[in-house]
C-alpha cells in the first residue's frame, strides 16, 4: 500500500472528490495547510530583490491505496488540479506498512474498502 499526499488548490477539492467517487477511491482525508513551493529554494536570488516568500493556503489530500492504484489516483489528481499555472501543487507517494479497520480488525486491502 501507498500513501498519496497531494498538496492542491482548495478550489479543486469538490471536483476532486467527485472524480474520486466516480472511480471508487477507498477514502480520503483533507486538511487545510499553509505552504511555500519553489520560492523557498530561490530565496537567495529573491533576497537580492528584497522579496520574502509568502505562505499560501492549500489543501492537503491524503489517500491510502493498493500499489497498483497509485498511478490511477495520481492521474486523476493531476487531471483535476493541473491548470498549468504556478502553484498547482505536488503529489508525494510514501510506503504504508499497515492499514487496520478499527471496527472489525480487518487489515490490508480489506481494511481499505
Partner that binds at residue 35, options Mg ion, ligand ATP, none, CB closer than 5 to 8 Å by kind = ligand ATP
Q: Which residues in the 3-62 window bind ligand ATP by CB under 6 A?
A: 7, 35-38, 56, 58
C-alpha 61 chain-centroid distance: 4
Partner that binds at residue 26, options ligand ATP, Mg ion, none, CB closer than 5 to 8 Å by kind = none
Instruction: Report the 10 Å Cβ neighbour count for 28.
Output: 17
**Which residue stretch of 34-42, 54-62, 90-98, 103-111 sits at the interface with Mg ion (rule: CB under 5 A)?**
34-42
Query: How many residues at the interface with Mg ion, by CB under 5 A?
Result: 4
* Cβ nearer to ligand ATP, comparing 71 with 83: 83
| CA distances, 54 to each of 27, 29, 59, 61 (Å) | 32, 25, 16, 21
Q: Establish how many alpha carbons lie within 13 A of residue 30's alpha carbon, considering only the half-sphere containing its beta carbon.
A: 12
Cell, residue 52:
520574502
The residues of the shown chain that bind ligand ATP, judged by CB under 6 A, are 7, 35-38, 56, 58, 86-90
Amino acid at each position: 500500500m501507498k500513501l498519496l499526499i497531494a498538496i492542491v488548490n482548495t478550489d479543486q477539492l469538490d471536483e476532486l472528490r467527485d472524480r474520486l467517487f466516480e472511480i471508487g477511491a477507498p477514502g480520503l482525508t483533507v486538511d487545510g495547510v499553509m505552504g511555500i513551493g519553489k520560492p523557498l529554494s530561490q530565496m537567495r536570488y529573491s533576497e537580492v530583490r528584497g522579496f520574502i516568500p509568502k505562505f499560501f493556503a492549500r489543501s492537503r489530500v491524503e489517500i491510502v491505496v493498493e500499489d497498483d492504484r497509485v498511478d490511477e489516483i495520481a492521474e486523476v489528481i493531476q487531471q483535476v488540479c493541473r491548470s498549468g499555472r504556478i502553484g498547482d501543487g505536488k503529489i508525494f507517494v510514501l510506503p504504508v506498512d499497515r492499514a487496520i479497520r478499527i471496527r472489525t480488525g480487518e487489515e490490508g486491502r480489506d481494511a481499505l474498502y
